[in-house]
Amino acid sequence: MAMLIKGGTVVSTSGRRQLDVRIKDEKIIEMGCDLEVNEDKIIDASACYLFPGFIDGHTHLELENDLATTSDNFVTGSQAAVAKGTTTIIDMATPVRGNSLNNCLKTWNQMAEGRASCDFNYHMSLIEWNPAIKAEISEMIAQGITSFKMYMAYDAMRATDAELFEAMKEIKKVGGILGVHCENGDVINQLQKDYLQAGKVAPKYHPLSRPNVLEAEAINRYLTIAGQVGLAVNVVHLSTKESLEVVKRARAKGQIVYVETCPQYLLLEDSLYDLPNFEGAKYVCSPPLRKPTDNKALWQGVIDGEVQTISTDHCDFNFSNQKINGKGDFTKIPGGMPGVETRPELICTAGVMTEKISLERFVGLLSEDIAKQFNMYPKKGVIQIGSDADIVIWDPEQRDVISAKTQVTNCDYTPYEGFETIGKARDVFLRGVKVAENGKVCKEKTGKFVFRKINE
């Protein structure tokens, strides 16, 4: 079946133009002014923008850790994604200790295939480093996984500096990409112990046990090691002003560093941890929410181009029966928040509508530049002939109020309760098929694995 989207304004990082878009099967086959109407289906997009489907480069849709299992799985989390315009996610595949990467990949494919309503791929987490894991790095590339994730915090997963160094050398050999969770895990452990021993057990001690400098220090160490290896690297969920300074210094020395931040580090602040009735626990995530000065510095980074991508770190746990288990010990609050559903509306409202960023930049931050960084471009991340027909028809006038009552996300709260938004995905197409309309999913479980290939 062919389809013609008429009258919309196509936006990319290089500009915007009113163009009709013809789609056949899964692809965009023609674009131009006033295209001839000979289609089975015409869609009027006048007064709307056409964005390439948004890509979330950082989700944990079905994460099981020692405290809890995320309230979203691939079925519900991907529905939340497409409902508001995110057509592709890169989820964090996280192996169980002692398990092979191949086994982990199988597990993640089993969770995603036939269940996801958006397209998907994974960053493969390297939670330990040994000869067997090393041997699997090139096998991952051969199977379409071109990016890896490591942790400098969390006892069950964190790498030593030596392990980071060795893994980077191997990733460089195969042309892969590394992203690292940067926080000084050792010192955080000690701070947590100190607070708990002093009887300081409330959520507000979570950010105090993870101060800004412990992120900046870890980023500095990570970039120092990457500089030795000569590897271009990504800093995931960067959250502090000091961290951006560290990144700028490394760049000044000629290093290639990509920076991801998330809506929560732009829009929310650490005073939320003081909420009564344990509600501060809703905002427990790592790194923690920071201060207004950090929010401001990060927005400036987004504006200046120091920050390349905005993804979500979607990792949600219910407040009433999961977060609550940390009452009496903030280190037992499962860490993470929902985000995959709300990112486009939040960043459009707080970034585009306030004129901090242009529509073109918005597309780069949420789609095009993520596709480029993670080897999905131009299949994903752009509306052009030959690309997948992942298209969001965006109504810039549509207003909404974010609420747990109406969200698609399978979580009993939203960190953005009551936020008023301007601009909304009216129709969402995944490879030419309408999968959501006005915030409701209308076609489920058609998501596919996106095979990624290293750019030659």
Question: Is 260 near ligand URP (CB under 6 A)?
Answer: no
Please, which residue, 268 or 285, has the CB nearer to ligand URP? Answer: 285
Contact 453, 174 (CB under 8 A): no
Question: Is 274 near Zn ion (CB under 5 A)?
Answer: no
Q: How far is the CB of 150 from Zn ion (least distance, A)?
A: 10
Contact 5, 391 (CB under 8 A): yes
Contact 337, 316 (CB under 8 A): yes
- Give 90's strand partners: 121
Question: Is 33 near Zn ion (CB under 5 A)?
Answer: yes
Please, which residue, 238 or 363, has the CB nearer to ligand URP? Answer: 238
The CA distance from 123 to 213, in Å, is 26
Please, which residue, 22 or 210, has the CB nearer to ligand URP? Answer: 210
Please, which residue, 115 or 206, has the CB nearer to ligand URP? Answer: 206
Question: Is 313 near Zn ion (CB under 5 A)?
Answer: yes
Question: Is 286 near ligand URP (CB under 6 A)?
Answer: yes
User: Considering just the CA atoms, what is the radius of gyration of the chain in Å?
Assistant: 21
Size of the site for Zn ion (CB under 5 A): 4
Contact 122, 108 (CB under 8 A): yes
Q: How far is the CB of 348 from ligand URP (least distance, A)?
A: 23
Could you tell me the two tokens for 102? 């191949």
Q: How do 177-181 and 147-151 pair as beta strands?
A: parallel
Of the candidate residues 181, 290, 426, 448, the single one contacting ligand URP (CB under 6 A): 181
The CA distance from 5 to 157, in Å, is 47
DSSP H/E element including 93: strand 86-93
Of the candidate residues 43, 61, 285, 382, the single one contacting ligand URP (CB under 6 A): 285
Q: How far is the CB of 444 from Zn ion (least distance, A)?
A: 25
Please, which residue, 58 or 426, has the CB nearer to ligand URP? Answer: 58
Of the candidate residues 34, 194, 304, 420, the single one contacting Zn ion (CB under 5 A): 34
Angle between helices 241-252 and 212-229 (to 10 degrees): 20
DSSP string, 367-411: IIHHHHHTT-TTTSS--STTSB--EEEEEEEEEEE--TTT-SSSS
Binding mask 309-338 for ligand URP (x = CB under 6 A): ----x-x-------------------xx--
Please, which residue, 13 or 239, has the CB nearer to ligand URP? Answer: 239
Task: Dump strand ranges (E) for 45-140.
Answer: 49-52, 54-59, 86-93, 119-125
Residue nearest to ligand URP (CB): 335
Q: Residue 33 binds which one of ligand URP, Zn ion, none, with CB within 5 to 8 A depending on kind?
A: Zn ion
Binding residues for ligand URP (CB under 6 A): 60, 181, 285-286, 313, 315, 335-336
